[in-house]
Every structure is written in structure tokens, then in C-alpha cells.
Structure 1
Amino acid sequence: MHQVTSFVDEREVVRLTQQLVQIPSVYRPGQPDGNEERVAQFVADYLRQIGLKVFVEEVVPGRPNVIAFYDSGRPGKTLLFEAHTDVVTEGDRDKWSYDPFAATIDGGRIYGRGSCDTKGNLAAAICAVQAIMRSGQSFAGKILLCIPCDEEGMMIGIKDFIRRGWAKGVDAAIICEPEENQLCITQKGAMRAILRTYGKMAHGAMPLTGINPNTRMARAIVALEELERKEMERLGNHPMLGFPSITPTILQAPVKGEPQINVVPDQCMTTLDIRTVPGQEHAILHAEMTAILDALGKEDEHFKAVLEVIEERPWTLTSMEEEVVQATASAYRELTGKDPVYNGVPGATDGTFLHQAGIPILTTGAGDRHIPHHADEYVEIGQLVETTQLFALSALTFLTQPASVK
């Protein structure tokens, strides 16, 4: 099967990556060119041109998913490749050495927002399917491409994909994310929460006539930091995921209206980015945080706080005995002559929800895992080509092996 790798066209992989990066797909509400629609349409047209059956489904206005099939015509397993179209903001362009949407090639790298996370890997998945088609290699079953919107946000794209029934019958999924071609079999879970403390407005010169929500918030944050410390001690440093964390990110007071230095606000808000690891249960962690707030309320009759969890993504763990892991590991050895490196994803991916839908997932792809969301984001061309070959070889290995009995 190694011969399929000879049908991977490096120039094609590079060109497609550049074309994808050159279409900005940062979600900016209210801006006509501020979402994934244009890049999704480009991808859909490209997939039709190479001969795939393509569906474009709008999740919300201007934010479509693209779904495509390569069907062998023979009954068998279904392997899903998933790679999203959206990218994070480029931020301050003055911090970039290259135009973030020019897809400049320099020193064997493609620079640009999304080159690493994850338009390069999207190009690799598409070109891998193209290589399989060109090779004429026989297999049974189907390859399904899921190219959703909004992975960088609330992941509404993959949720819509599952809700419409596309995940039914999928036997395994490869999540195409920048992991340096390491085989990631686990990933952190995530809880996104909003914590609000309430007070009473007052003159800054006479603070005792009001109730300061900021000092109450400070107590809550310190108490949550202590909970984080206890969880880190209890669980230790996970060999693939590191430590769990409870991180306040946005801090705002007042929540509405203009802040003034001589005014005690009536409300303070912080967002919590909570990352969990195997051994943590979200329901228990939520209960512990609520208990902390209740205890602070007993100490201070004026302490009033509300914790709202707005999103949950449980941690995932895929057995190394799963067929998709075994097939990809075999493909990696055949391709490189080396044993694969197994690891974990430090963040959450769309694979979280595919895992919840009962699909074994493996996350891998080109790109330095520390580069996403940075200025001067890049992907190494050599590694990107290797990823394309790995995707093609993994798919054929998976789809030409009989399904194991579970």
C-alpha cells in the first residue's frame, strides 16, 4: 500500500493550503466576509471537481458545513476525516512579519493564519483522498470528509453534523489538527463558565455605603485557585495532558455601563476556562465550585455570586487497541520506518463531540502544536506532505483490514 504515497502531489498540497489560507475565515459577527462561507464554497467546488459527492449545509446564516464522500462501492467500514474551516483572529497585524492571509512561502514554510491550525491539515486530508482515488487502490467502505465551521468557537458545526445524523455508521475518525504527526489518543476536557458577583453601587470615597463585588470576586478567584491546586496534587501531571486547570480569563466590572475610578460597581464578571483530565468528573467539579461559593456566602452576608456553565466538553481517551489507532500506527511505521510517538491534545477539538457520539477518535496532523493562534503562524511543507501521505496510507490500512469483533 506504500505505493499510494507516490500519488501525493507536493505542489498540489502546497497550492491548496495557500488557496485556503488566502481566504480569510475569521468569524466576525456582522461582517459580510467575516465567516467561513467563502472558504466553504471554495472547498465544496474543489471536492466536486475531483469527483466526490458533496453536501453543503448551513448551520447558521453564513456558516456552512461541507460534507463529502468517497465511496468504494463495496460494503465496509466508514472512516471520517475532520478538519475545520474557521481560524482565529490574526490580532495585531504589526506583530506579523508576513501578511497573515498571503500564505507566503519562506524557508520551506507556509506562513499565514490557519496554515497550521488547520487549513494545512484540511488540504492534506483532501489531497490524501485524491491520492487514493488516483492510485486505484482497492478497498471496501467509505471515506467521509467532515469540514465544519466554528471549531474555534462553540463548535456549532460539528454539533450540527451529529444532529443531522451524519455520524451514524461512522466506524472511526481522524481529527486533523497540528500535532507534529504524533498520534494523540487523549485530549483534555473543557468547561466554560461565567462567574458573576453582585454588589451595590456607591461613591468611591464612601465605599461602606455600597457593596463591592470586586473584592468578593477576588475572594472567589483565590478560592478557585486553591481548588485548582488541590486537583493538581490529587491527579498529578498526566503523562500526555499535563495538569488540570481553572483559569480566570476575562475580568470585567461594571458589566454594563461605563467604568469610573470613583464609582464602586454593582456587578463583576469573570469567565473561567476550566481544563480537565482523566480522573475528573465535570459534575463533581461543578459541585465543588458551587460549594466554595456557598461557603463564601456563609462567611459574608453580602457575598452573592452565580456560576453559570455555558459549555462542557468532557475529556476523551481512546484505547491503543482501537483499529484506527492500530491502522495509523502501522501506516506511520511503514511510511517513516520509525515507531510513532503517542501523545495527548492539550486543548479540546471537534473530536470531543464525535467521541460522545460513540466514534473512536485519533488526532494527528502537521504543524508545531505550540504555533496555533500565534503571530507568524506557519506549517513546515515537508511535514505537511508527510501528513498527506500518512492520511492516505492510514485510510487504506484501516479500510482494507476486516473489522474486529468487539
Structure 2
Amino acid sequence: MAIDRVRSFVDEREVVTLTQRLVQIPSVYRPGEADGNEQRVARFVEDELRQMGLTVYYEEVVPGRPNVIAFYDSGRPGKTLLFEGHTDVVTEGDTRKWSYDPFGAAISGGRIYGRGSCDTKGNLAAAICAVKAIQRSEEPFYGKILLCIPCDEEGEMLGIRHFIQRGWANGVDGAIICEPEENQICITQKGAIRAYLRTFGKMAHGAMPLTGINPNTRMARAIVALDELERKEKERLGEHPMLGWPSITPTILQAPVRGEAQINVVPDQCMTTLDIRTVPGQDHEVLKGQIEEILAVLSREDDNFKAELEIIVERPWTQTSQEEPVVRAVADSYRAITGKEPIYNGVPGSTDGTYLHLAGVPIITTGAGDRHIPHHADEYVDIDQLVETTQLYARSALAFLSE
């Protein structure tokens, strides 16, 4: 096919250099610090895209935290394909745990090392360089390529939510979420419910606990009951072939919630955070109702049991058919580039794609990088795989926009 030639216009040195330059601009969100946000890297990307001749928009979501949006328009009416890759990265943590400068973008053994090299500045560079390859190839296509480069994917996903609220997702026919998935084609991802669970008691002397009400023992009962609910959901649903098991995980456990903890004082309140991950077949409203019913049952069994569930954030699971044009375009391109059958998989966490899915955009997630490497010390991306990703993005765009 004519579009196969676009891979020859992918420049390995260009992909590597752009990845390095992105990694070398720290973009860990640190409130109050001049460089503690995504602004510097967003300005760099904005300049890069303008030099390519794209139509570029720079939108501040909150102070110091911008989205960059760019269009490459064929000049012919047709569909719109979105590439999405975020600018923020997680903390580097203790730099003594690193063998390389977290923001040095060192190359060693065919890999680029640094925070964000895998998640997801390498894949952001691949998307930009894929557009460059399409430009150089002069291969005709229909419609538009839209680059969405948002802030805050690692936090509350403010960037992609702002992008959608501003109407940029309207009319998008398919989206490729640029995340590290070893170039596997991820067509489903877990949902998430994050919540505070609080139990309330009455302070008392540890030597005379019956003069108070212990919220810790009440919390223990709730956690045991939630563990049983998780067991029943696993038994009901089985292990999802791409996403694994659903889970209900207490993470933080704190008592007292305020004030100093003392070994001889019964606290007045206990709090745990719940990180709930859902899979297809689970209804979030039903699940939240089951948790509320657990608390109601415990309250009926114990007049002193008082609890409160507060949902912090909620994102549903997503699932995209293999017959969706965007999935077929990526799968066909993977075959053409590698000579192998694509591996279909799922994202164990959630991505900005969740919100695009809610906005009615068919999504797939794929990109370079070992999915287990993000957020680790000595994060890296393999250069060979990153080049393959750039070729995959470029050919997929042409395949999707070929008619």
C-alpha cells in the first residue's frame, strides 16, 4: 500500500532528540514552585508545533498548568483522529535510588533513561514525530489530525476534562491514547472509584474503653465486610482476560484523623481511603449501593456504629470493539510494520482516555514502553520500540484518514 512508505520518513535521531529534550524539562507538579508545573514543557511543545506549521492553541487550565492543542489539516473534508499524550510526570522521588539523572535523559544500552521517558514523553515525541513523517511523505489523506497535549493526567485529569468542556472533542472520530503499553493494542481499561470511609466514635481513656466508643473496631468490621464483597465480585465475574481481577483496596488507615495519636487514648474518628478498581460487568451505582448497604447492616447490628462514605473521584471502565475503525487502523498498521499479529490487551489503571470515552470518542491505548516501568526509579524507554511506535502512529493516522 502507498501508505506503507511513511515509515521510511520516520527519523530515529529526531525521535530520540525530541524525547530527550522533553525529559530534560522537569514537569512534576509542585504547587508554589516556579518550575513545578507543566508550563515550561508546554511552551516548548507549542513552539515545536508552530515550527511545523500546525494550527496551535495554548490554553491555561489553571495558573501554570496549560493544555496545548494542535491541528494538522489535510485541506480535504474527512474524519478527525486524535493523538493524546500528557506533559506532566510523577515525582522522581529519592534521587539516590537512581543510577542516572532523573532529568538527564541519558542514553545507555539502547535506552533513554529519565522520569517521563516511558510515561509518557517518549510517546508524546512519537506522536509529534509521526506527524512530521506524514508531512515529509506528502502522502495525501482526508480530514484532520488533532494533537491534544494536556496537563495533569497523573492527578485529577484536569487537562483532558478542560479539553472536553471547551468542545475540542466534538466531532473527533477516534483517539489514540499515547501511553506505555509495549505497542500492544489496549481496547479496554479498568474503572476507578476513590473514596473516604470514616467511622465515628467517642474519645476515652485506653484503660477504660467502655466509657467511649472505639471507631477502630468499627472500621475493622467494615474492612472485613468490604473484603468479603470483593471476594463475591471476583467469584461472580471471574478474572477478566485483559484486565485481571476487580478489587476493593483500603490504602490509607488513620486514627485519630486530627490531633496527636496516643497509645492510651481511644480516638474519636477513624478514616480509610478506598481505591476500588472495576472491570466490565460491574455497575458503579450498584457497587456503591452495596457498600452503603454494608454500612447500614453494621449500623443495625451495633447502635454505636456510625460511618460515612464520601466518593472523591469516579471513572468508569471502558471497552472498545475490535471492529471500530480506529482499532482496525492500528491493528492493520501493526501487521504491516512488524509482520506479526497484534496483541490485544487492557490498561490495568485508567487514562485520560476514560473521559474521552465518556464524551463518545472511540479510544485505544498504545505506545512504547514496558507497562511496569512507569513511576519507578531508572524509568526508561527502548529506542527501537519508540521508533516502531512512531511508525505505528504515522501509518495508523494515514490508514484511519484514507477515505
Instruction: Calculate the TM-score normalised by the size of structure 1.
Output: 0.97
Structure 2: how far apart are the matches of 1:116 and 1:219?
41
Aligned residue in 1 for 2:8 = 6
Q: Which amino acid aligns with 1:7?
A: F
The alpha-carbon deviation at position 234 of structure 1 amounts to 0.5
Bigger mean CA deviation after superposition, 251-260 or 216-225 = 251-260
Structure 2: how far apart are the matches of 1:172 and 1:299?
51
Q: How does 1:141-156 map to 2 (within 5 A)?
A: 141-156=143-158
Structure 2: how far apart are the matches of 1:136 and 1:351?
30
Structure 2: how far apart are the matches of 1:354 and 1:346?
17
Aligned residue in 2 for 1:248 = 250
Aligned residue in 1 for 2:84 = 82
CA deviations over 1:233-275 (Å, ceiling 9, x no partner): 1100000000000111111222122222222221111111111
- The question of 1:290 aligning with 2:288 is answered no
Structure 2: how far apart are the matches of 1:266 and 1:65?
44
Give SS of 1:286's match: helix
Instruction: Calculate the TM-score normalised by the size of structure 2.
Output: 0.98
The alpha-carbon deviation at position 216 of structure 1 amounts to 1.3
Aligned residue in 2 for 1:373 = 375
Q: How does 1:229-240 map to 2 (within 5 A)?
A: 229-240=231-242
Structure 1: how far apart are the matches of 2:62 and 2:177?
23
Aligned residue in 1 for 2:121 = 119
Q: Which amino acid aligns with 2:221?
A: R
1:131 pairs with one of 130, 133, 140: 133
Structure 2: how far apart are the matches of 1:208 and 1:28?
45
Structure 1: how far apart are the matches of 2:102 and 2:265?
41
Number of corresponding residues: 401
Structure 1: how far apart are the matches of 2:49 and 2:257?
46
Structure 1: how far apart are the matches of 2:202 and 2:219?
14
The alpha-carbon deviation at position 65 of structure 1 amounts to 0.6
Structure 1: how far apart are the matches of 2:323 and 2:293?
40
Give SS of 1:100's match: coil
The alpha-carbon deviation at position 30 of structure 1 amounts to 2.3
Structure 2: how far apart are the matches of 1:174 and 1:141?
16
CA deviations over 1:25-79 (Å, ceiling 9, x no partner): 1112222221111111111111111111111111111111110000011100000
Aligned residue in 2 for 1:363 = 365
Give SS of 2:401's match: helix
List runs of 5+ in structure 1 lacking aligned partners: none
Q: Which amino acid aligns with 1:375?
A: A
CA deviations over 1:298-357 (Å, ceiling 9, x no partner): 111111110011111111110010000111111111111111000011110100110111
- The question of 1:281 aligning with 2:244 is answered no
Root-mean-square deviation (CA, aligned residues, Å) is 1.0
Structure 2: how far apart are the matches of 1:229 and 1:351?
29
Give SS of 1:110's match: strand
Aligned residue in 1 for 2:352 = 350
CA deviations over 1:91-141 (Å, ceiling 9, x no partner): 222221112111111111111111111111000000001110111111110
Give SS of 1:158's match: helix
Structure 2: how far apart are the matches of 1:56 and 1:258?
46
Structure 2: how far apart are the matches of 1:25 and 1:264?
43
Runs (4 or more) in structure 1 with deviation over 4 Å come to: none
The alpha-carbon deviation at position 217 of structure 1 amounts to 1.2
CA deviations over 1:187-237 (Å, ceiling 9, x no partner): 111111111111112222222222121121111111111100110111000
Aligned residue in 1 for 2:211 = 209
Give SS of 1:287's match: helix
Structure 1: how far apart are the matches of 2:90 and 2:73?
33
Structure 2: how far apart are the matches of 1:214 and 1:96?
39
Q: Which amino acid aligns with 2:9?
A: F
